[in-house]
């Protein structure tokens, strides 16, 4: 049974999510591909383990990369169905699609949470 990662309460009046694959369209190849980089594993793991808000703008992650690179990776995660993104004014915030991923790929997120980056 996959661990139930803490999902913080949804604020009301959420902006609509950006385009994303439906649960039925999630494909293991795509998800695996999105998680085959240490940068993206870092992003997803941090969301799983350190979220103190419902969702997080990419600034929160403290990643030392140019903005255009971050756009690229957050988009890759969303298009694979790993994360959901919502636009709040200027900010675009991400959360992990915990329920959807646990439903389709039980145990996958546990692997990400247990992952540790290479020193």
Choice from 4, 53, 71, 106 touching DNA (CB under 7 A): 71
Q: Pick the closer one to DNA by CB: 35 or 102.
A: 35
Least Cα distance to 31 among 91, 106, 108 occurs for 108
Q: Answer with the entry of DNA, a copy of itself, none that 70 interacts with (C-beta below 5 to 8 A by kind).
A: DNA
Applying the rule CB under 7 A, the residues between 12 and 51 that interact with DNA are 37, 39
Two tokens at 55? 């969702």
**CA 33/CA 31 separation, integer angstroms:** 5
Q: Pick the closer one to DNA by CB: 31 or 102.
A: 31
* Per-residue contact flags (x/-) with a copy of itself for residues 17 to 36, judged by CB under 8 A: ----------xxxx-xx-xx
Q: Are 41 and 111 in contact, with CB atoms under 8 Å apart?
A: no
Give buried/exposed letters for 55-68 (b at 16+ CB in 10 A, else e). Answer: bbebebbebeeeee
Residues found near a copy of itself in the complex (CB under 8 A): 27-30, 32-33, 35-38, 41, 105-108, 110-112, 115, 118
């Amino acid at each position: 049974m996959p661990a139930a990662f803490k999902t913080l309460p949804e604020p009301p009046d959420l902006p609509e999510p950006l385009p994303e694959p439906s649960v039925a369209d999630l494909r293991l190849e795509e998800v695996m591909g999105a998680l085959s980089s240490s940068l993206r594993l870092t992003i997803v793991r941090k969301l799983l383990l350190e979220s103190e808000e419902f969702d997080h703008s990419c600034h929160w992650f403290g990643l030392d990369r140019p903005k255009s690179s971050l756009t690229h990776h957050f988009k890759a995660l969303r298009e694979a169905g790993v994360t959901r993104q919502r636009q709040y004014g200027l900010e675009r915030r991400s959360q992990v699609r915990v329920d959807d991923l646990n439903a389709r790929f039980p145990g996958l997120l546990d692997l990400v949470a247990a992952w540790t980056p290479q020193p």
